[in-house]
Amino acid sequence: MNSILSKLQHNYYEIFKVVLFVLAAAIIAWVSPKESIFKYEFQVGKPWNHNDLIAPFDFSIIKTEKQIEEEKATLLSTFQPYFSLNKEITESGLQQLKVNFDLAWELMKQDQTNEDSAKTIKFLTGLYNKIQDKGVIRYDPVIENKEPSYRIKIINDNEVKEASLGDFFDIRSAIDYALMRIKEKKSPDSSMMQMVISQSLLQNIFYAESKSNLEQKELLKGILPNQGLVQKGELIISTGELVTPEKYQELISLKNDYEKDLASSDAWMYVISGVIVLISMLFLVQLLFMRFVKTAFYDELKFVVLVLFTQLLFILLSDFIFEYYSDWSYMIPFALLPILISAFLDAGAAIVIYLITLILISFYAPNSFEFFLTQTVAGLIAIFSVRNLSKRADLFRGVVFVFLAYMVIYVGMLLAQEGSFEHFSIRMTGNLAVSATLIMLAFPLIFLYEKLFGIITQLTLLELSNTNNPLLRDLSVKAPGTFQHSLQVANLAAEALYEIGGDAQLARTGALYHDIGKMNNPLYFVENQTSGYNPHDELGFEESARIIISHVLDGIEMARKHQLPEKIIDFIRTHHGTRRVEYFYRLEKKLNPGMDIDQSEFTYHGPAPFSRETAVVMMADSVEAASRSLAQPDEQKISDLVDNIIKSLMDDGQFMNANITMKEISSVRKVLKRKLMNIHHARIAYPD
């Protein structure tokens, strides 16, 4: 028992990672559909490659979307929209006519009798009622460009009657009719009457949208989703027979009924068990891939969490959209997933993880083969086109290439399945364009992931390596010699890592910041001394060593104050490793011969480099600083200098914890020699 507990205690980190994979598999199994998986694969235009298929039970044939849309269009073409007559408006218009008339009569006809006034208002009232009783219809898009014979339904109180558009006035024709009747009267008051009637006529027939929509829904309910019947024992399709659109509908109908029937039967437990086994196997493959192929990422828990979190995010989003908004299925930016993974891990890991995620989603994706093919090609194109995401143009290029890949696959599937462009869909093209465009979300998501998981990407490294960054700007002003030294170290380290295959951008950025601690006491470092004055002349050797060593701790403190990532701070704390400040140590020994010197007072606190990048920066920093002391640098002097310094670092055990090989150190040595000769313009030594 104690042995088991001891093993658990020592391997809890590994066990926790396995638990995370099991938990992710359980969540996906929980949200996955509980229907069985139809065991036959088929496509329109392809031969049936299975045995003869006999109907295992009676089932109805599902109508295609096109058939349903055609039936809807046919029904709606005969639909008569509803309009309502508003009598209150008619009455209010009549009252307004009387008010308008009284005002106009008082102003214009003061010399006429009340009898004349009564006759005129009676005429206008009768004309108004005649027009309003016929009805003045208000314009609505539903009757746009319709013929006068177009039939509508009029709601008058609780009575509904049919009518034609031509039976009613619109506001313009109503006014024209009124003006014509007034002219026919040839009254001296025509102008006044025309003005009054024009101001008083109102639209009193309006489109009853809610009633019309309700009736349309009731009408469309009559459309049945199925047509025809395939009886049990009937041959559906023979081996080698071409899957026509008609046969495809029979097969897809059987598939739907088969999955639903099995899910509702006693076999549903076996269905769920099968789904769990399949999902578990896929996650096991991913676990083994990361454990044995991408060990560097598996060893860090944050990468495991990042991968599983991203997979769950896309799978749960897909499940929700497939279930409730299936028309949006091809808008989901699946190609965004491998871009995110490759930004934090690498392209190889992104490809495998993306394919496993697509297989998991394909369990419940509509048209799973078409879905898997389309998204696989788009995702791979996204990885290859974006590569190292380091600037905005990379992502724009990715959007263009992914959209082109979508379109090529879409057109290819149309030709392979139907042999024509008859069903080419502008809507599908728009959905694919939206999916490709949403890849632009990579920028904000990468920023969010960096903050969430504490991982830096090439984008952040590029931002930090900008010499206009406030911290680097301060370094260039307060310690210009150190700044120039840092630039040289950054270039040397990056060139060496290009050669051996490390993260050159990480090393370049780390090298730029490795000596920022010198800003606190810039004159105590020889590269910043320009006047010949050296403040160390006034100090003891132990105190001088303490000031030199403190630039590492000061640098770490500055970096954390400015919220630099820990990966950059690693270069500050490791660039001197656990070495001694040899110059002052030797002077102290010389001053106190025979005495025991406390080496800890002259030793950097470390740690020693623990990665290929930090090891290379240590080498570049040491040889660049030492090369400045060469009086007349030539090929031999530089070569000896580099060999001696790197040998000294190796003898001190500074690379024991770094994943760098002797072969790689030898390559770095050659690069440093070549670059230093270029920097110092050293001539090649000619033979005697």
Phi/psi of residue 386, each to 5°? Answer: -85, -40
Asked whether the beta carbons of 586 and 604 are under 8 A apart, the reply is no
Q: What amino acid is encoded at 364 in this protein?
A: Y
> What is the helix (H) or strand (E) element at residue 156, kind and residue range?
strand 151-156
Determine the angle formed by the axes of helices 301-324 and 347-362, rounding to 10 degrees. 30
561-606: pLDDT as tens digits: 998 998 999 999 999 999 998 888 788 888 788 777 878 888 899 8
Q: How far is CA 97 from the centre of its chain?
A: 63
Comparing CA positions, the residue from 164, 165, 160, 170 lying closest to residue 212 is 160
The span from the CA of 55 to the CA of 251, in Å, is 10
Determine the angle formed by the axes of helices 2-10 and 12-31, rounding to 10 degrees. 80
Once rounded to an integer, what is the mean pLDDT over residues 135-161? 89
Residue that has been written with the tokens 């009029």 in this structure = 154
- Say what the pLDDT of residue 540 is: 85
- Say what the pLDDT of residue 23 is: 93
> What is the helix (H) or strand (E) element at residue 140, kind and residue range?
none
Once rounded to an integer, what is the mean pLDDT over residues 515-524? 92
Q: For the purposes of burial, counting CB atoms within 10 Å of the CB of 19, is it exposed (0-12), middle (13-18) or buried (19 or more)?
A: exposed
Q: Which residue has the higher pLDDT, 353 or 263?
A: 353
Share of the chain above pLDDT 70, in %: 92
- Say what the pLDDT of residue 622 is: 92
Phi/psi of residue 24, each to 5°? Answer: -60, -45
pTM over 0.85? The answer is no
- pLDDT-derived band at 110 (thresholds 50, 70, 90) equals low
- Say what the pLDDT of residue 193 is: 84
Asked whether the beta carbons of 200 and 223 are under 8 A apart, the reply is no
- Say what the pLDDT of residue 685 is: 52
The span from the CA of 621 to the CA of 575, in Å, is 7
The span from the CA of 37 to the CA of 364, in Å, is 9
Comparing CA positions, the residue from 437, 441, 422, 56 lying closest to residue 261 is 56
Q: Is 154 helix (H, G, I), strand (E, B) or coil?
A: strand
- pLDDT-derived band at 630 (thresholds 50, 70, 90) equals confident
Q: Which long-range contacts (CB under 8 A, 24 or more apart) does 311-316 make?
A: 311/24, 311/337, 311/353, 311/356, 311/357, 311/360, 312/24, 312/27, 312/28, 314/357, 314/361, 315/28, 315/31, 315/357, 315/360, 315/361, 316/27, 316/31
- Say what the pLDDT of residue 353 is: 95
Residues present in the chain in total: 688
CA-based torsion, 466, 471, 475, 478: positive or negative? positive
Could you tell me the two tokens for 516? 């920022």
- Say what the pLDDT of residue 305 is: 93
Is residue 333 scored above 90 in pLDDT?
yes
The span from the CA of 515 to the CA of 503, in Å, is 20
605-615: pLDDT as tens digits: 989 999 999 99
73-106: pLDDT as tens digits: 888 888 899 999 988 888 888 888 888 888 888 7
- pLDDT-derived band at 121 (thresholds 50, 70, 90) equals confident
CA-CA-CA-CA torsion for 95, 100, 101, 102, nearest 10 degrees? 90
User: What rounded mean pLDDT belongs to the chain?
Assistant: 86
The span from the CA of 657 to the CA of 655, in Å, is 6
Residue that has been written with the tokens 């930016």 in this structure = 333
- Say what the pLDDT of residue 396 is: 85
- pLDDT-derived band at 32 (thresholds 50, 70, 90) equals confident
Residue that has been written with the tokens 């099995």 in this structure = 262
Q: Which stretches of 135-170 are DSSP H helices? A: none
Is residue 646 scored above 80 in pLDDT?
yes
- Say what the pLDDT of residue 81 is: 92
- Say what the pLDDT of residue 668 is: 94
- Say what the pLDDT of residue 52 is: 80
The span from the CA of 191 to the CA of 1, in Å, is 111
45-55: pLDDT as tens digits: 777 777 788 88
Residue 643's alpha-carbon distances to 159, 333, 467, 482, in angstroms, are 105, 52, 31, 24
Residue 92's alpha-carbon distances to 167, 194, 231, 268, 667, in angstroms, are 23, 19, 66, 68, 97
223-268: pLDDT as tens digits: 888 888 888 888 888 887 888 888 888 888 887 777 666 555 555 6
Is residue 664 scored above 90 in pLDDT?
yes
- pLDDT-derived band at 34 (thresholds 50, 70, 90) equals low
Could you tell me the two tokens for 600? 């800890």
Is residue 394 scored above 80 in pLDDT?
no
Q: How far is CA 513 from the centre of its chain?
A: 32
Could you tell me the two tokens for 350? 């992104």
Comparing CA positions, the residue from 405, 379, 395 lying closest to residue 439 is 395
Asked whether the beta carbons of 619 and 668 are under 8 A apart, the reply is yes
The span from the CA of 674 to the CA of 9, in Å, is 50
- Say what the pLDDT of residue 686 is: 47
- pLDDT-derived band at 458 (thresholds 50, 70, 90) equals confident
Is residue 214 scored above 50 in pLDDT?
yes
- pLDDT-derived band at 556 (thresholds 50, 70, 90) equals very high
- Say what the pLDDT of residue 402 is: 92
The span from the CA of 559 to the CA of 553, in Å, is 10
